[in-house]
Chains A and B, each alone.
Chain A
Amino acid sequence: MLAIPSAPRIDARKRAALKRQQFQKAEFAEQDYPHRMNFYIIPPTGDVTLEQFEEWGIARLKVLAELEACQFRNKTPAETEEYMRPILAKHLPLSTNSSRSSEISLERKRDHYSHWILRLAFSSTKDLRQRFARLETQLFKLRIQQDDLRERKSFIDSLPMSWEMVSDEEKSMWLDDLKAATNCIKTDEESWFKCEWENVPDLVERRQVLLKKGKAYVHVREQMGMVVNEFSRQLESGLELAGRFLPRMDEDNRLAPVLHHLSQSFVAPDAGYAESSSLSDIANINAASIDGYSQHFPLCMQNLHRELRKNSHLKHFGRLQYTLFLKGIGLNMQECIAFWRKSFKLMTDDKFKSEHLYNIRHSYGDVGGDANRRGRGYTPYSCQKLLTEPLPSGGQQHGCPYRTYSPDNLITLLQNVGVTDKELLKGVREDVGKQRYHIACNRVFESAHKNEIKKVKEESLWPASELDTILHPNDYFKRSFLLKNLGKLQSGDIGVDGPSHTMASPEEDGVSAQPVEEAPKIAFISGHIDITNDQFFQHYSSRLKTSITAGHNFILSTAKGADTLALEYLLSQGVEPSRITVYIARPVDPRKGGPVDLEKYTARGLRVEVVDGWHAERDVEMTKASDYDVLWVRPEEETKLLYGKKYRVGRVSGTQKNLKRRVRLRSEKLAK
């Protein structure tokens, strides 16, 4: 594992000692863990298998995700503790010393290692670091509170913090002053410790300590807070360091995918936005169809849509929120630009170009800094984000209406969008009164889809996880859309085929009375020939998964890189070889190309299509033969770096051409 230097605050002598500890004992050294709690100052040095590495990381991740969910659902500390107890026991048990469990050392090792595994996984971006530090601190707090008194004390005593308990003699001398200074009431424990006042500036500032000659006398009740603060401070600086060291680890291609996967799945529960929320592959989402889809939008987005239609304008944050949502449901950038252009009826082209175009492109990661492009723009906002951002001021419409509207206005708004059930509105009013905005939203959703949900539940069409609380506007849309089209999905009316279909029971077909004769959609997989495994993993796998579950067929070429990786990936995912067609270009000029080896593919049960011409001709055929693309174009900046001197400005890659061709083809079709 990557050895990350310990937090910088530790003084040079101690650091040297730590280093010695880190390296001298050789990598086989197993640490022993005298305490249940751990400050995670020293990175683990023992060996673990890759499986353990991933498994342990995932277990801890699960715990952190649940902890975050508690926070999001406004659970009180007591409720959180109650809720977390079984989860902790299952995924990350930590027995006390007194339990005499034989598992103690393994449990503690797991705790230690998993912390450091996640530390690596979440040190890459500032957002991740902050979130990780916040949740780890919460976990630490939760656990130290559960710790039994004696063990907590011995743990705290073991920490490298410079404080000492106030002796009885001193205590009796200053008792009144101590009590007065620390606001210690009768029922409080009469126990204090002292440290340099510089260690507790915030307590000094609030006059919560007794000061004597530069020493601060602190009441023990503050001690735990100080330990937690110190933990959080050390973790934050450790993460900062790890972030800086991370690039040096890129070499290791065994860990990188695991870490990447871990950090990705950490993003999901919060942002809640998975690419599978996008319906672009299965439904035709374009500028013109947004009006039709808007009935499936959650109130926040419906509201924005209505305002936009009413005023032909939206203020900045509203635009941003809505653009990202549309991006999330699968509206591509060109269509999104078209959407806004048409929506801002009253605006001149010049004004639109100068004031709005860039922002839309920025949201999609088409322009902007390297980080923005690499991240493909911003992530669609989650409910959490909408519920925590500052309230909109006059004329602004962004945010969650359940929160931003007064209850009366909210009810009017709901009635306007067709929610009229008195009981339901009463429930909404109650929820909103208790500030449970997302519960209110879910209530409206559940009522609107009562019948479908019942059906799905009865026939267990969807896994239960697909029906839990909605925490993301894009989830709301997807679920609403899929539920409303439960019947139609099979009938092929809208040419949509969601993942739900694969789970549909046979009688479903009977209802729609239409056999599955509709030809499955065809995905055209293309990409760069020099793509790395990591990039493939990042940009292709989840999209391919969606297509696989939707039962689509695939076409790809014989090219190296993306195509080859995709072929292997599809086969490894258990896709029938007959669902995959390999396109082979046969050059007209035989001098340039060797004989084509069809056997190589047919032998594996794959279909083969031969196109006369070069790869450009081949690609044209492939676009024509398919319904949509699965591709990724490397951002310009990255290409520049990759090719160095060989980089040519304005070069358009084949993949990029594929993308453009598709857009052209679609618009031609629309024109007809």
Chain B
Amino acid sequence: MPHAVSPERESAATPEDTTVEDAPTQEDNPGGDDDVDMADALAEPDTKPAGNALEDMFDDDDEEEDEFSSSAPSRPDNSSQPAAPISTKFSDPENLRQFYQRLCPFRPLFQWLNHSANPQPDFTNREFSFWLPGNKVRRYLSFPSADLLKRQCVQMTPERFEIGPQYSVNPKDRKTIKNASAFRPIMKELVFDIDMTDYDPIRTCCSGTKICSKCWQFIVMAIKVVDAALREDFGFQHILWVYSGRRGAHAWISDKRAREMDDSKRKAVANYLEILRGNENGKRLGLRRPLHPHIARSLKLLDPYFQNEVLNDQDPWQSTEQAEKLLNLLPDKSLTDALKKKWDSSADRSSNQKWIDVNSMAEAGSLSTLSTTQLRDVRQDIRLEYTYPRLDAGVTKTTNHLLKSPFVVHPGTGRVCVPIDMRSLEDFDPFAVPVVTDLIAEIDEWDQKQGANMSDEDRSKVQDWQKTSLKSYIEYFKGHVASLLKEEGKGKRGREDEGMEF
């Protein structure tokens, strides 16, 4: 509930939305808000060669800060709010430094991306990009180990960092190779991005970057459907769902088979899952019957949500204009005319009642030319239209797409991008997700309360993240990583055995 947050935070968050997140006039980031396409970002000048020694960072640290603060007023100012106070809110370098230093779980992140305890190319040749204040992006960073990633984060305090693919060559050496085609992405987790903005045509509670617990249900539905398909159809096991920090969710699939997919296979998966195609007004389903088992299963999953979360909570056809949308989806002129007449005469019928009307009038027969199966199909189509996941498929389709890392702070809301525990998906409350400023306060509070009663030795054993509400999320993540590493270990031994035969 964004309404629940303090007025002060609310006012601070709003301009942040426009300046950092969605400002179309910024020269980069034309695609989405959470990720950046390789081609787009290539145009972004590197502020510095990627592989600069860390010592250098120390040296010119202050200088860089100056540079950022001085660049702030000069950028196109499309909000009435002054820029300075915004950046001090959640992306305040001191807060971020604290967060990266004390809370962000770099070690598990490293293992998750590296698939092994010792650094291997899975991690060392992987691209990271840092988002710095003013929407500056530094692409093609790479790090030999978790500690060095952490040090760089603490040093530069990026608002967020994103994870890209493992390249055939260490990204920082990309300019040294003669043959440009030798630098290509070879491995990345299969990723999905579900974003609330894609639901604007069908949600009534909020729009744009806003979100409430009602429309969060759309994300829950989407996660359920996609997760089921990934597990049951494609047989993927290591799926991590992550809250994107504001109004969406990301999925990271770390199965070896998924990581090694080329673009054509990623595209195949994305299109397999995507059934709503076309523009905002005319999504066309064009599904053949009988429904493909994936769609039939999804429909079964989604039906209860359609009744409760869509018809009751969203009430999408309340007004006459809204009801027009429903009528447009019905292919029978005489039926729509009759329905229109009925609803015009009794204006306050709810979506639920209207949905029942459609059914009863169509079944009455005299008013409609639709056969029983046609009616069934139309009703299925409408239910899918209002419940089926809307994916940002571009993110999934290419290997070189970057996606925001789990456990970074969303600069607009200050919330940490925490993993979502699939076992209690329904209970996940995006508004209960820890905010970076609160977390730092929690550490202090713990030190004063629980910590005060412990011996120094015991206290030193407790890590900072364990003192905060981030604890459960990190523990969940660690469990996820552990099962992934276990599987990898098995696979690797298996491969080595096979190799012995040669």
Are A213 and B232 within 8 A (Cβ)?
Answer: yes
Are B290 and A214 within 8 A (Cβ)?
Answer: no
Are B290 and A205 within 8 A (Cβ)?
Answer: no
Determine how close the nearest CB of chain A comes to the CB of B388; give it in whole angstroms: 13
Distance between Cα atoms of A353 and B290 in the complex (Å): 66
Are B268 and A202 within 8 A (Cβ)?
Answer: yes
Distance between Cα atoms of A210 and B269 in the complex (Å): 13
Distance between Cα atoms of A180 and B293 in the complex (Å): 7
0 or 1 for each of B202-242: is its CB under 8 Å from A? (1 = yes):
00000000000000000000000000000011111000000
Which of B259-267, B316-324, B368-376, B430-438 lies on the face that meets chain A?
A: B259-267
Decide if A638 is an interface residue (CB 8 Å cutoff). Answer: no
Decide if A274 is an interface residue (CB 8 Å cutoff). Answer: no
Known: A197-B234, A201-B264. A181 touches B293 (CB 8 A): yes
Decide if B58 is an interface residue (CB 8 Å cutoff). Answer: no
0 or 1 for each of B465-502: is its CB under 8 Å from A? (1 = yes):
00000000000000000000000000000000000011
0 or 1 for each of A1-14: is its CB under 8 Å from B? (1 = yes):
00000000000110
Known: A201-B264, A214-B257. A207 touches B292 (CB 8 A): yes
Determine how close the nearest CB of chain A comes to the CB of B501; give it in whole angstroms: 8
Residues on the B chain within 8 Å of A214, using CB? 233-236, 257
Distance between Cα atoms of A484 and B501 in the complex (Å): 76
Distance between Cα atoms of A204 and B271 in the complex (Å): 8
Distance between Cα atoms of A116 and B293 in the complex (Å): 45
Distance between Cα atoms of A177 and B294 in the complex (Å): 9
Are B293 and A177 within 8 A (Cβ)?
Answer: yes
Known: A180-B290, A180-B292, A180-B293. A207 touches B257 (CB 8 A): no
Main secondary structure of the interface of B (DSSP, over half): helix
CB interface residues, A 168-204, toward B, < 8 Å: 176-177, 179-181, 183, 197-198, 201-202, 204
Distance between Cα atoms of A198 and B257 in the complex (Å): 9
Nearest residue (CB) in B for A211 is B233
Decide if A648 is an interface residue (CB 8 Å cutoff). Answer: no
Decide if B291 is an interface residue (CB 8 Å cutoff). Answer: yes
Known: A179-B290, A180-B291. A205 touches B267 (CB 8 A): yes
Residues on the A chain within 8 Å of B269, using CB? 204
Determine how close the nearest CB of chain A comes to the CB of B400; give it in whole angstroms: 19
Determine how close the nearest CB of chain B comes to the CB of A609; give it in whole angstroms: 59
Residues on the B chain within 8 Å of A210, using CB? 293
Residues on the A chain within 8 Å of B265, using CB? 198, 201
Are A213 and B235 within 8 A (Cβ)?
Answer: yes
Residues on the B chain within 8 Å of A180, using CB? 290-293, 296
Are A212 and B261 within 8 A (Cβ)?
Answer: no
Residues on the B chain within 8 Å of A198, using CB? 257, 261, 265
Nearest residue (CB) in B for A202 is B268
Decide if B272 is an interface residue (CB 8 Å cutoff). Answer: yes
Distance between Cα atoms of A198 and B268 in the complex (Å): 9
Decide if B341 is an interface residue (CB 8 Å cutoff). Answer: no
Determine how close the nearest CB of chain A comes to the CB of B272; give it in whole angstroms: 5
Determine how close the nearest CB of chain A comes to the CB of B198; give it in whole angstroms: 20
Decide if B178 is an interface residue (CB 8 Å cutoff). Answer: no
CB interface residues, B 272-329, toward A, < 8 Å: 272, 288, 290-296
Residues on the A chain within 8 Å of B502, using CB? 12-13
Are A204 and B272 within 8 A (Cβ)?
Answer: yes
Nearest residue (CB) in A for B501 is A13
Distance between Cα atoms of A207 and B293 in the complex (Å): 9
Interface centre among B233, B257, B267, B290 (most CB of A within 10 A): B233
Nearest residue (CB) in B for A198 is B265
Distance between Cα atoms of A95 and B214 in the complex (Å): 70
Determine how close the nearest CB of chain A comes to the CB of B37; give it in whole angstroms: 21
Distance between Cα atoms of A13 and B291 in the complex (Å): 42
Nearest residue (CB) in A for B289 is A180
Residues on the B chain within 8 Å of A177, using CB? 293
Known: A177-B293, A180-B290, A181-B293. A212 touches B232 (CB 8 A): yes
Nearest residue (CB) in A for B297 is A177
Nearest residue (CB) in B for A174 is B293
Are B272 and A205 within 8 A (Cβ)?
Answer: yes
Residues on the A chain within 8 Å of B236, using CB? 214
0 or 1 for each of A201-243: is its CB under 8 Å from B? (1 = yes):
1101111001111110000000000000000000000000000
Return the 8 tightest CB-CB contacts between A and B, nearest first: A214-B235, A211-B233, A213-B235, A201-B268, A205-B268, A180-B290, A177-B293, A205-B271
Write the residues of chain B forming the contact surface with A, with a CB cutoff of 8 angstroms. Answer: 232-236, 257, 261, 264-265, 267-269, 271-272, 288, 290-296, 501-502
Q: Name 5 interchain pairs, CB-CB below 8 A, sorted by A.
A: A180-B290, A198-B257, A204-B269, A207-B272, A212-B235
Given contacts A204-B272, A212-B232, 10 further A-B contacts (CB under 8 A): A177-B293, A179-B290, A181-B293, A198-B261, A198-B265, A202-B268, A207-B295, A213-B233, A213-B235, A214-B257
